[in-house]
Chain A
Amino acid sequence: MNPIYASRRRKDIIVRALCFVAAAFGVSWLGLILFTLFYNGLAGMSWQLFTQNTPPPGASEGGLLNAIVGSLIMTVIGVGVGAPIGMFAGTYLAEYGKHDRLSPVIRFINDILLSAPSIIIGLFIYGAVVVPMGGFSALAGSLALAVIVIPVVVRTTEDMLNLVPNSLREAASALGLPRSLVIRRIAYRAARTGLITGVLLATARVAGETAPLLFTALSNQFFSLDLANPVANLPVTINNFVQSPYVYWKQLAWSAALLITLAVLALNIGARLIGSERTAK
């Protein structure tokens, strides 16, 4: 065989093998992480997790009830505040802002906020909410999550509305529908699955966020529904328990980690399934 051809083939085979190894490397991390999570997390799964509050140091009994409820509350409020704002802003960019010179700036800034470090959001909320309110609170934590939700939803909403064919809007306008109704009745409805996907992805993003909660919601050893006070939540509980010397706390941290990961993966997969249903149609 021609030596040049042989060396080209050899190089090609090496690179193919390296790419294959890289893919195996990437996928195996997911496998490894999930395996250890399930292995360690399942060991601590019991009804206690959902019926008892986080234990004091050294105790060998207790659950995660207060943390689970706190996380749910903050996630719901965070998404509840952030998602509508994000949807309206995305609507403006996609529907009204085509000729507004501010739109490209907003889009650009939004993309930067989308990947800004979440701990910075925590610092911002600390300065803007925690200090004026005089203390850490569930409300501050929720608002920090809302700030993270907004850019995600803005982005997906704009992208999804841009996918709606203009002929639909034109048809509705020709029938005499005013602009706002064209958007709400026609564009939103046509883009519905996409919009839901965006909100689900945003929820998945904040469900496990820890850094912005460390000094906004803080944590709480007891059960609390009071928005003006610190509230327990799964991520900060993990953060506090992992580095503790108590075996039972570490076990609880693994269980909490498994719960969060399952929730996040479920949301991600759910969002993808809804998204793919749309393309299948």
Chain B
Amino acid sequence: MVCRKQGWGVAEMAVHSSAIEQVASHDRSRAMDAFKLGDRVFYWITRISAILVLVLLGGIIISLIVGSWPAIMEFGSSFLTTQRWAPSAEPPVLGALSPLYGTILTSIIAMTIAIPVGIGIAVFLTELCPLWARAPIGMAIELLAGIPSIIYGMWGFFILGPFLADTVQPFFIGLFDGVPILGAIFGGPPSYLSLFNASLILAIMVLPFITAISRDVFATVPPVLKEAAYGVGCTTWEVVRHVVLPYTRVGVIGGAMLALGRALGETMAVTFIIGNSFRISPSIFAPGTTISAAIASEFAESDGLHQSSLMLLGLLLFVLTFFVLAAARLMLLRLEKKAGK
């Protein structure tokens, strides 16, 4: 506070030269010293805060490794290939195969739904939508991104799950009944809690991310390019397909990978409706689990090797998302550089 007050005084001194003449010269040098000190303190506060970001990442990695060390020692690489998850067996048998499978499968299904729809919405917003409706629709999509994930989970649990189990799932099960492979994938009894339900909720959750980034990169396409294409008689679809998408390919892929990173680590939306079953089933209508769902539902009541294994799951998830997110950021960075030039 003192420093701030002094700052005002000195700042005015610097502006009104008459003020300088009035103060004695040693006051001036004192003021200069205060400037220097304040400058240095502020510089170091900001610098240390910035370095704290790196420390955070380091802390996350170290605490995960430390926490999962007993499990790494105990299970080694067999952790990745064991499907059984029996924390109360003697000795406990714990394997990551099932949550890994669930995490990757739900993310893939979610992205298969969300990428085309998300890009479709972005195309609609940038090319087709009347101007007056752009802002409200864009805002609605962005608000969708703001809704906390537990709300999605709860909504999926109470509303979407029963709806899917009563209508959509029986339809697919009937449609592919008896067909080899597809019959197994879309087989089994319909269920309120399933990988498929979780995937759909995930798709809805990541949709806004894909739309927002696609819309932003679509806006970077020089109007001249689009106008030229329209000028030679292209239809809207042809402009999008042959001008907008090729020009923004890197950005769109980057956005999709960012969304993938989100989907991989999404916790609350998935935990309620995936069923938390550690058995790998060929059917996507069967219950399963993901890494984050396993941690969320078991960690608070775990101890010893069980807890350590959950930490190890967390470490795996972190490594997985780190690479996906890093790749996404590198792509988007490349695009920014291109736009900057």
Residue ranges of A at the interface with B (Cβ–Cβ < 8 Å)? 8-9, 11-12, 15-16, 18-23, 25-27, 29-30, 32-33, 36-37, 40, 85-89, 91-93, 95-97, 102-103, 105-106, 108-113, 115-124, 126-128, 147, 150-151, 154, 175-181, 183-185, 204-205, 207-211, 214-215, 218, 235, 238-239, 242-243, 253-254, 257, 260-261, 264-265, 268-269, 272
Contacts and interface: CB of A to CB of B under 8 A. Distances in A.
Contacts, number: 273
Contact of B150 (A88, A92, A210): A210
Given A22-B121, A30-B143, A89-B49, A120 B265 contact: yes
B238 interface: yes
Given A30-B144, A175-B14, A242-B157, A181 B38 contact: yes
Nearest to A260: B148
Interface of B: 7, 11, 14-15, 35-36, 38-39, 41-43, 45-54, 56-57, 59-60, 63-64, 66-67, 116-118, 120-121, 123-125, 127-129, 137, 139-144, 146-155, 157-159, 204, 207-208, 211, 235-238, 240, 258, 261-262, 264-268, 272, 292, 295-296, 299-300, 311, 314, 317-318, 321-322, 325-326, 329, 333
Contacts of B326: 108, 112
Contact of B151 (A126, A175, A257): A257
Nearest to A147: B56
B117 A89 contact: no
Nearest to B152: A33
B267 A118 contact: yes
Contacts of A112: 57, 322, 325-326, 329
A146 to B, nearest CB: 10
Given A22-B120, A26-B211, A120-B60, A264 B50 contact: no
B159 A261 contact: no
Given A117-B292, A178-B35, A265-B146, A215 B53 contact: no
A193 to B, nearest CB: 18
A8 B238 contact: yes
Given A23-B120, A124-B64, A257 B265 contact: no
Contacts of A11: 235, 237
B15 to A, nearest CB: 6
In the A-B complex, list the 4 residue pairs whose CB atoms are closest, starting with the nearest.
Answer: A208-B148, A117-B265, A22-B120, A127-B63
Contact of A16 (B38, B46, B236, B299): B236
Given A8-B235, A12-B236, A123 B64 contact: yes
Nearest to B64: A123
Nearest to B15: A175
Contacts of A40: 158
A89 B120 contact: no
A120 B149 CA distance: 15
A102 B146 contact: no
Given A119-B295, A238-B150, A23 B38 contact: no
A253 B154 contact: yes
A106 B51 contact: yes
A208 B56 contact: no
A97 B150 contact: no
A119 B296 contact: yes
Contacts of A110: 53
